[in-house]
Chains A and B, each alone.
Chain A
Amino acid sequence: MKSKPRFLKSIIGTLLLSGAVQASAADQTILNTSYDIARELFAAYNPTFEQHWLDKTGKTIEIKQSHSGSSKQANAIMNGLSADVVTFNQVTDVQVLHDKGKMIPGDWKEQFPNASSPYYSTIAFLVRKGNPKNIQNWGDLAAQDVALVFPNPKTSGNGRYTFLAAQGYAQKTFGKNNEAQVDDFLGTFLKNVSVFDTGGRGATTTFVERGIGDVLITFESEVNNIRNQYGADNYEVVVPKTSILAEFPVAVVEKNVKKNGTEDVSREYLSYLYSEASQRLLAGFNYRVHNDVVKKEFADTFPEVDLLTVENIAGGWPQATKDIFTNGGKLDRLQRR
């Protein structure tokens, strides 16, 4: 009889204690708003930064994570989500925070090295074991009986990169002025798509779980992660010789950090991504990095690719959005049947 109240008391005591501990756990808190598939990456990065910040300033910091499609996140921030930093997978989603939200300065790309993109990736292919359709390059994807899976360029940054990469390949092969032939290739390429999922993870599910398609086209980092997760024996990674530079831009949300008083720690949070230790961590998650030492260490993982930029292919993101992806743009024209 006596043990019961004591038991209850101890539970309540523990709860109160843990609550108290939690309340005083960190001197400061910041919120990192990020894209969907970066959850594991930042879950690994945050503890290392928390330690770094403690060593440097003697203060504790707690980092909260929020993950969703990066356009959705940009919307949420403009609607009042008090994010301190953004780590996105699309330049346009950061740019909109300046253009429409007036929350970051226009020169956000100059605030951190490499156009504020601490790591990058490219678009690669995942094929089934033995590569039965013998896919080596973009040209093979427009063959007659190849079924492709990649997310809808209309709803996914991942899909937009894929489309632009294919266009870059075609421009290189047929000549940039040979627009008719480039569009012809892109039209065939689009006709080979069997499912248009709305996001990268959806496309992965379609290819891996539902067994649809011969090729999954997505970020190189995702391709390698899938292969690690679903068994290296079932799939093969093909990195085409020509592909696109996919930047993963970061920015401090000036308007929010001023209000939250988290300016210093937010800036440090992003610059620490460029440190050698962090770059090694990023490379471990199959992202390409700029640090020369780490680059050498991981040379085997990342084959040499001729990386075209969005500027090269379509004159930059604003131009690409206007010409290709907007309503009635090139993408719509090519898909018309």
Chain B
Amino acid sequence: MATHLSAADTRPRHKRVLPGLSLSLGTSLLFISLILLLPMTGLIMQSVDMGWDRYWQVISDERVVASYKVTLWAALLASIFNGFFGLLLAWVLVRYEFPGRRILDALVDLPFALPTAVAGITLATLYAQNGWYGDILESLGLKVAYTPWGIVLAMAFTSIPFVVRTVQPVLEELSPEEEEAGMTLGASDWSVFRRVIFPALWPALMTGIALSFTRSLGEFGAVIFIAGNMPYVSEITSLMIFVSLQEFDFAAASAIASVVLMASLVLLFAINLWQARYLRRLHGRS
């Protein structure tokens, strides 16, 4: 019987665990302001006194533009890669029982826990000409370390948990009844996946990919150790920011940083809007 009573029926509708909306909302807003908005404003303010001409000159510098291209392409490839393998990994973790599943599940978070510089050095060691993987890949004519591929690799490594961790809960919540209904109606496994499972997963997957993408845009530690950092070929935008800081040119650094910030914000907003619309359509509430 208990299964028929959903949580909403048994609990008083507006039971408050935290005291008052105004207080909890106020606290949340205060901390968002202190931790997120204020530093961002500080970032913008640093570039304010440089004037539009100089701002434009800094962010449209040939070398900086080359770094945007490298960063964008690498982040795109890395997040697409993560889209496939993150989904696969989440699927395996949710749908199968096997010895060591818990350990594998915990390992997924490793890139988050690991200092990214350590990740970068480790990847560089493995993929360098004389490293374990690098040796094999070299004999196949593939060079990863110290080429743009190294950047893709480092970005994929540091951001794959985003995809797994956004897809996993949705996959867990997916009710088996819908799949069973599809099966009984004679649908093949593939068409059940394509028509039943995937549409429900799609928004979470897109969010995961977008998060992975934005994280990759800003990645620094892991990338610089394996990128080779050749001007116009394998320099990432974060390195350009770092270079400006080394020259004590804080205005230029924050100008370039503001471009990355804008790109990330626009992308995140776009994904959120799209997701809201998609979900409305999916649940037929348009």
Chain A residues in the interface with B (C-beta under 8 A): 69, 71, 74-75, 96, 100, 152, 154-155, 193-198, 202, 205, 209-212, 321, 325-328, 332, 335-337
Which residues does chain A contribute within 8 Å of B247, judged by CB atoms?
154, 321, 325-327
Contacts of B131 in A (CB 8 A): 210
Contacts of A155 in B (CB 8 A): 239, 242-243, 246
B61, B125, B230, B245: which contacts A327 (Cβ < 8 A)?
Answer: B61
Is A196 a contact of B230 with CB atoms below 8 Å?
yes
Q: How far is the CA of A112 from the CA of B91 in the complex (A)?
A: 67
| Interface residue from B128, B244, B248 paired with A210 (Cβ < 8 Å) | B128
- On chain B, the number of residues with a Cβ less than 8 Å from chain A's Cβ atoms is 31
| Neighbouring B residues of A74 by C-beta, 8 Å | 248
- Chain B residues lying within 8 Å of A196, measured Cβ to Cβ, are 228-231
Q: Which residues of B contact A336 (CB under 8 A)?
A: 62-63, 231-232
Instruction: Provide the residues of chain B in CB contact with A328, threshold 8 Å.
Output: 61
- In Å, the complex CA distance between A147 and B247 comes to 27
Q: Judge whether B125 and A210 touch: CB under 8 Å.
A: yes
Closest approach, in angstroms, between the C-beta of A317 and any C-beta of chain B? 12
| Cross-chain pairs A/B with CB under 8 angstroms, 21 sampled | A71-B246, A74-B248, A154-B246, A155-B246, A194-B228, A195-B229, A196-B230, A196-B231, A197-B225, A198-B224, A209-B128, A210-B129, A211-B129, A327-B58, A327-B63, A327-B249, A335-B63, A336-B232, A337-B231, A337-B232, A337-B233
Extra pairs beyond A210-B128, A212-B146 (14, CB < 8 Å): A69-B246, A100-B248, A155-B246, A194-B146, A195-B146, A195-B228, A198-B242, A210-B125, A212-B128, A212-B129, A326-B247, A328-B61, A335-B63, A336-B62
Chain A nearest Cβ from B185, distance in angstroms: 57
Whether B124 sits at the interface, judged by CB under 8 Å, is: yes
Contacts of B63 in A (CB 8 A): 327, 332, 335-336
* Interface residue? B145 (CB, 8 A): yes
The reply to whether A71 and B232 form a contact with Cβ atoms under 8 Å apart is: no
CA distance A202 to B117 in the complex (A): 12
Distance between Cα atoms of A152 and B128 in the complex (Å): 19
> Which residues of B113-146 have CB atoms within 8 Å of chain A's CB atoms?
121, 124-125, 128-131, 145-146
Complex-state Cα separation, A217 to B247, whole angstroms: 22
Residues of B within 8 A of A327 (CB): 58, 61, 63, 244, 247, 249, 252
Least CB distance from B227 to A in Å reads: 9
Identify the closest chain B residue to A157 (Cβ). B246
Task: For the complex of A and B, list the 9 residue pairs with the smallest distance between their C-beta atoms, beginning with the closest.
Answer: A210-B128, A196-B229, A335-B231, A211-B130, A154-B243, A195-B228, A71-B246, A155-B246, A195-B146
CA gap between A195 and B249 in the complex, in Å: 25
When the two chains form their complex, are residues A96 and B129 in contact, meaning their CB atoms are under 8 A apart?
no
